[in-house]
Amino acid sequence: MTETEVAANAPDWFRDALSVTPESCWTTAMGCDIHYLRWGPKTSALPGVLFLHAGGAHAQWWSFIAPFIAEGRPVAAIDFSGMGDSGRRDAYNSACHVAEIAAVLAAADLGSKPIIVGHSFGGYIAMCHGARYGKDLGGIIFADTALRPEAEAKAAPVEAYTRPIRIYPERAEILARFRLGPAQPCENTFILDYIAGTSIAPRDGGWAWKFDVAARGNSHHEEPLAEYVSDLSCRKALIYGADSAMMTADAAAFTTGLFGPGDPVVQLPAAHHHLFLDQPIACLLYTSDAADE
């Protein structure tokens, strides 16, 4: 299956979404080339939306959600440095990723007070960005971004972030190795097939994943993320999977406690950590409603 092919069992709504081809755009941040996708009109009275992917993922993870959100408003999805088609760095941290968000927001013409949607790692970086630039945002929607009461900083598993790039000789071989992390079931195999196909690139006569293993570090946990969420100067909302391995009972209690009475908090039934893969329509409707409020 090539990047443009869709599995035979894919429903019409999924095919319709992928039939909308986004603009492939570039900007720069802290000396690194940053790639992003853009959908929707050039200008709109509605606030634009910027999607932030999880660690090791990329902008195409939003390709079946973004076109529906883009009906009447500008929408973009970033490739963080070291992931997707963006450039690589010698070192990665929240400061560079915050700069990348700012660069895409400026370049993508998302209007005043844009809304950020961040999944997992993307949500953590959204917290860091919001702490610095929250007054310039219309709001942040966190998607299964879990926090815990204990200190968030953890010793980095160095071997996981320094191992050499593995080259797979055959495309079929690397596609067969595609896995969600953390592991979870997902009945929507047509989505998994598409994401797998957009997560690889030719390299050195074979195929490799489109991410730098060093970019998957957790330096953002060195920041006071819980304080960032509590003190955000923009609106905030949370949606998380009822069956998420990340949003344990303790994590859910602590994370939701950072949101006030007027902040929407939704637990999505029959959804795991990658909730928009499990319940794409529900996530789409929730994101649309939150953006319109």
| pLDDT tens track for 213-245 | 889 777 788 899 999 999 999 999 999 999 999
Say yes or no to pLDDT of 139 above 60: yes
| pLDDT tens track for 270-281 | 999 999 999 999
Average pLDDT over residues 244-262: 96
Say yes or no to pLDDT of 13 above 70: yes
Say yes or no to pLDDT of 148 above 60: yes
205 sits in the region (left: phi over 0; alpha: psi -120 to 50; else beta) called left
Average pLDDT over residues 148-173: 71
Average pLDDT over residues 136-149: 96
Say yes or no to pLDDT of 161 above 60: no
- 46, 98 contact by CB (below 8 A): no
CB atoms within 10 A of CB 43: 11
Position 187 scores a pLDDT of 96
Q: Where are the domains of the chain?
A: 12-292
Dump the DSSP string for 152-176.
------HHHHHPPPPPBSSHHHHHH
Percent of the chain with pLDDT over 70: 94
* 3-state secondary structure (DSSP) of residue 89: coil
Q: Which two tokens stand for residue 139?
A: 């709001």
The second-level CATH assignment, the architecture, of 12-292 is 3-Layer(aba) Sandwich (3.40)
Q: β-strands 49-52, 75-78: how paired?
A: parallel
| pLDDT tens track for 179-203 | 999 999 999 999 999 999 999 999 9
- Candidates 36, 59, 56, 57; CA nearest to 105 is 36
